[in-house]
């Protein structure tokens, strides 16, 4: 995302009608390191706001105390410390009914990952899993890393940028070894790093660039030809590269991105269904309703009734959608 950092006090850009606000990372000045670490109190009130919002940056949260619910996109995670949460740029999240929430956060842009490019892939996988329970050993290890990040960022001794990047790399790799939770349950003993079946991860640079492209909020409204044009290749070359890397076509992946973005808009905004349809590239609302039902098994209205804040179901989804 462009313009991922701002100077302190810069207001959030006005979002498109009906969309959640987009928060950017505040840094001390031009050229400052795009990294922040601290407690909820140190990072500021927006770090635990109850209003749905998005970021231009990554957020890793080590929750050590409190109760409530953390809503990330379409999943509701009960706050059961200690646990670790990874939130990706563009994901919609907020805290609900939180009490006594405490812990440490690390906020950083993709630019900060220079030197460890593979961490981008791990972070995308971590963001899809989102929520990780910590046993006593993992909690202590995570607490030490987070404390070191906070100290390095605060003291800014010579070479601190390199130390911050190294510590963050260790945090990401160790997080990828954690067992994946299923709907807030005990979790699968397999870690994110062991998951070789991630369909959006391409083995080639073009497939990986396409995966990053379709993750953008506006991408679901594009066609395969438009995506190919943005990547500077022909549709045929894009199809060949993506199919070779993922086993699926760019069109299928765009459909999945279109459905997911529609679900997010239905759950987190008050946009009428016709406007949701337009945002994901469907000019005909009736066609969109048929498309949505075919892909999800439910109508847009029923999905919104089950997932929106205003009509939140008492049933938490068993798996992250």
For residues 158 and 241, state if they share a domain.
Answer: no
Q: Please write the tens of the pLDDT for every residue from 217-274.
A: 788 889 999 999 999 999 999 999 999 988 889 999 999 999 989 998 998 888 899 9
User: DSSP letter at 48?
Assistant: G
| 267: containing domain | 205-307
For residues 176 and 223, state if they share a domain.
Answer: no
Q: Which of 194, 215, 247 is the last residue of a domain?
A: 194
Q: Which of 194, 218, 235 is the last residue of a domain?
A: 194
For residues 109 and 245, state if they share a domain.
Answer: no
Q: Distance between CA 266 and CA 124 in Å, rounded?
A: 23
Strands (E), 135-258: 179-180, 188-191
- pLDDT value at position 94? 93
- What would the two tokens of residue 18 be? 């009906």
User: DSSP letter at 66?
Assistant: E
For residues 93 and 240, state if they share a domain.
Answer: no
For residues 154 and 229, state if they share a domain.
Answer: no
Q: Distance between CA 262 and CA 271 in Å, rounded?
A: 11
Dump the DSSP string for 103-132. Answer: EEEEEE-GGGGTT-THHHHHHHHHHHH-EE
For residues 54 and 179, state if they share a domain.
Answer: yes
SS3 letters across 24-43: CEECCCCCCCCEEEEEHHHH
- pLDDT value at position 15? 66
The answer to the question of residue 156 being in a domain is yes
For residues 154 and 181, state if they share a domain.
Answer: yes
- pLDDT value at position 312? 41
Chain length of the chain: 321
Domain of residue 253, CATH code: 1.10.10.60
Q: Please write the tens of the pLDDT for every residue from 30-51.
A: 778 999 999 999 999 889 999 9
For residues 158 and 184, state if they share a domain.
Answer: yes
Strands (E), 109-196: 131-133, 179-180, 188-191
For residues 128 and 70, state if they share a domain.
Answer: yes
- pLDDT value at position 193? 57
The answer to the question of residue 318 being in a domain is no
Q: pLDDT means per 10 residues in the chain (321 residues)?
A: 66 70 83 92 91 92 97 92 94 93 95 83 90 96 98 95 96 92 46 49 74 84 93 94 90 92 89 92 94 94 81 35 32
Beta-carbon contacts of residue 315 (< 8 Å; ≥ 6 apart):
none
- Total domain count, the chain: 2
- What would the two tokens of residue 14 be? 């006005």
Q: Distance between CA 186 and CA 188 in Å, rounded?
A: 7
Domain of residue 123, CATH code: 2.60.120.280
């Amino acid at each position: 995302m462009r313009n991922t950092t701002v100077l302190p006090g810069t207001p959030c850009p006005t979002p498109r009608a009906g969309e959640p606000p987009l928060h950017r990372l505040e840094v001390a000045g031009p050229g400052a390191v795009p990294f922040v670490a601290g407690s909820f109190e140190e990072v500021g009130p927006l770090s635990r706001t109850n209003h749905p919002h998005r970021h231009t940056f990554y957020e890793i949260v080590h929750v050590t105390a409190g109760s409530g619910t953390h809503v990330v996109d379409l999943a509701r995670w009960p706050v059961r410390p200690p646990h670790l949460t990874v939130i990706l740029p563009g994901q919609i999240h907020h805290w609900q009914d939180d009490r006594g929430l405490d812990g440490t956060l690390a906020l950083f842009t993709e630019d900060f990952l220079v030197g460890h490019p593979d961490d981008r892939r791990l972070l995308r996988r971590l963001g899809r899993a989102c929520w990780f329970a910590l046993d006593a050993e993992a909690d202590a290890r995570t607490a030490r890393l987070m404390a070191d990040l906070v100290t390095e960022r605060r003291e800014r001794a010579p070479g601190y940028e390199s130390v911050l990047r190294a510590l963050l790399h260790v945090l990401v790799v160790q997080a990828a070894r954690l067992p994946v939770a299923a709907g807030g349950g005990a979790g699968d003993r397999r870690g994110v790093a062991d998951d070789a079946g991630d369909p959006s991860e391409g083995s080639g640079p073009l497939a990986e660039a396409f995966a990053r492209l379709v993750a953008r909020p506006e991408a679901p409204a594009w066609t395969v030809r438009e995506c190919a044009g943005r990547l500077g290749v022909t549709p045929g070359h894009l199809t060949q590269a993506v199919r070779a890397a993922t086993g699926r076509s760019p069109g299928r992946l765009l459909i999945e991105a279109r459905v997911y973005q529609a679900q997010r808009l239905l759950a987190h905004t008050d946009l009428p269904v016709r406007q949701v349809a337009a945002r994901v590239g469907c000019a005909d609302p009736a066609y969109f309703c048929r498309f949505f039902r075919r892909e999800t098994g439910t109508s847009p209205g029923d999905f919104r009734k089950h997932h929106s804040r205003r009509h939140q179901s008492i049933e938490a989804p068993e798996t992250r959608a």
